[in-house]
């Protein structure tokens, strides 16, 4: 029986694959337990698949899943989970910022019986923008949407295989694994891991992609935005009612009518903006309902090797 399944999603990481495979193989062999390495090629166009094919030909522990196009990291992890056979699943990125040599730390901690062991990045080497965005993301998720996500965790983690496959097979789309694990009541602990700067290639996480990723989390795991719309509607209705009473009072008691193009234009602009924002939030929920109703697969697998 396979003890450890290592899942590595990648998109245009040709420059890192040789070093990644060498370091990972040397590390996982020292654990001295049966293992498999599953690379998920998320639609790479730089020839990454040719290198993965060579790994598979010389090492039977290496297995490859190739997507027809880029479907995203969460889908790649989810697909990898579904194809694992190990008692434990290890998530690892292909950019080598999370060193494979830290895997034994996570494995050792997992022996204590936790469902998930999260790697906490020590001395995080990301840009100031990424660090700030991450802190802001966690603050907003907890304070405004009450979604509990452990701080400073990376996708470098060890998960019980049964739990990973169970979450991967949930019927919903736009999965966010960390939030779903919290929803499922999974027990977890943390291990400090080293974090390295990216040596080769560029990060695939742009500002827009991070924003969309955050939106998927919010829409997929809470109805609070819809409740906020109702609250805004109530507040503005109350404000309008108070303003109407004030205008009637000024007209009947003081004889001074409230007039002015600027105030009217400002009020119309504010209310129009709130209405459009509300429609946008409702539209996001409806679009995801529409996507669920279409029942399309999360990805298209072009080919597999070793599976």
Whether 70 shows a pLDDT value over 70: the answer reads yes
Greatest mean pLDDT among 25-39, 126-140, 193-207: 25-39
Whether 126 shows a pLDDT value over 60: the answer reads no
User: Span 242-268, mean pLDDT?
Assistant: 68
In a domain, 210, yes or no: no
In a domain, 212, yes or no: no
d(CA 52, CA 21): 9
pLDDT of residue 234: 74
37-55 pLDDT, tens digit per residue, is: 999 999 999 999 999 999 9
Same domain membership, residue 251 and residue 138? no
Same domain membership, residue 190 and residue 43? yes
Residues in CB range of 245: below 8 A, 6 or more apart: none
Same domain membership, residue 301 and residue 267? no
Residues 204-210: contacts with CB under 8 Å, at least 24 apart: 204/11, 204/12, 204/73, 205/130, 207/129, 207/133, 210/133, 210/137
73-112 pLDDT, tens digit per residue, is: 889 999 999 999 999 999 999 988 889 999 999 999 999 9
Same domain membership, residue 230 and residue 175? no
pLDDT of residue 34: 93
In a domain, 29, yes or no: yes
How many residues are listed for the chain in this entry?
307
In terms of C-beta density within 10 A (0-12 exposed, 13-18 middle, 19 or more buried), how is residue 123 classed?
Answer: exposed
Q: Using CA of residue 148, residue 85, residue 111, residue 34, what is the dihedral sign? A: negative
Same domain membership, residue 180 and residue 35? yes
Residue 305 three-state SS: strand
Same domain membership, residue 62 and residue 82? yes
In a domain, 217, yes or no: no
pLDDT of residue 157: 93
In a domain, 214, yes or no: no
In a domain, 279, yes or no: yes
Same domain membership, residue 281 and residue 188? no
Whether 205 shows a pLDDT value over 60: the answer reads no
Residues in CB range of 259: below 8 A, 6 or more apart: none
Structural domains of the chain, count:
2
Whether 258 shows a pLDDT value over 70: the answer reads no
Whether 176 shows a pLDDT value over 70: the answer reads yes
* CA gyration radius, the chain: 25
Same domain membership, residue 183 and residue 119? yes
Determine contact, residues 182/148, Cβ cutoff 8 Å: yes
Greatest mean pLDDT among 62-66, 185-189, 281-285: 62-66
Which CATH number do you get for residue 44?
3.90.550.10
Q: Please give the structure tokens belonging to residue 181.
A: 């694990």
- Work out the pLDDT band at 13, boundaries 50, 70, 90: very high
Same domain membership, residue 191 and residue 50? yes
More confident residue, 138 or 287: 287
Same domain membership, residue 301 and residue 284? no
pLDDT of residue 132: 63
Number of neighbouring beta carbons within 10 Å of residue 90: 27
Q: Kindly state the percentage of the chain with pLDDT values over 70.
A: 78
In a domain, 211, yes or no: no
Same domain membership, residue 122 and residue 8? yes
Same domain membership, residue 185 and residue 240? no
pLDDT of residue 100: 93
d(CA 78, CA 238): 46
d(CA 265, CA 262): 5
The residue range of the domain holding 183 is 4-205+297-305
The phi, psi pair for 116, rounded to 5°, reads -140, 140
More confident residue, 191 or 131: 191
Whether 3 shows a pLDDT value over 60: the answer reads yes
In a domain, 232, yes or no: yes
């Amino acid at each position: 029986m396979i003890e450890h399944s290592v899942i590595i999603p990648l998109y245009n990481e040709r420059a890192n694959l040789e070093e990644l495979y060498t370091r990972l193989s040397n590390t996982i062999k020292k654990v001295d337990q049966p293992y498999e390495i599953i690379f998920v090629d998320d639609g790479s166009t730089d020839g990454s698949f040719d290198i993965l094919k060579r790994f598979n030909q010389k090492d039977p522990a290496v297995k490859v899943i190739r997507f027809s196009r880029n479907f995203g990291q969460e889908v790649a992890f989810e697909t990898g989970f579904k194809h694992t056979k190990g008692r434990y699943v290890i998530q690892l990125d292909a950019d080598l910022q999370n060193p494979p040599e830290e895997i034994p730390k996570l494995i050792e901690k997992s022996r204590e019986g936790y469902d998930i062991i999260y790697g906490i990045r020590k001395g995080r080497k990301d840009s100031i923008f990424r660090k700030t965005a991450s802190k802001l993301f966690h603050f907003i998720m907890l304070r405004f949407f009450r979604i509990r996500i452990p701080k400073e965790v990376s996708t470098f983690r060890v998960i019980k295989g049964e739990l990973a496959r169970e979450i991967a097979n949930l019927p919903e789309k736009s999965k966010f694994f960390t939030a779903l694990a919290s929803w499922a009541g999974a027990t977890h602990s943390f291990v400090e891991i080293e974090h390295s700067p990216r040596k080769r290639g560029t990060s695939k996480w742009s500002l827009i992609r991070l924003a969309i990723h955050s939106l998927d989390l919010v829409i997929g795991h809470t109805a609070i935005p819809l409740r906020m719309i109702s609250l805004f509607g109530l507040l503005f209705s109350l404000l309008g009612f108070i303003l109407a009473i004030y205008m009637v009072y000024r007209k009947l008691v003081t004889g001074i009518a409230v007039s002015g193009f600027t105030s009217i234009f400002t009020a119309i602009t504010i209310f129009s903006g709130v209405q459009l924002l509300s429609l946008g939030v409702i539209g996001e929920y409806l679009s995801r309902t529409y996507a669920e109703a279409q029942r399309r697969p999360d990805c298209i697998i072009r080919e597999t090797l070793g599976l």
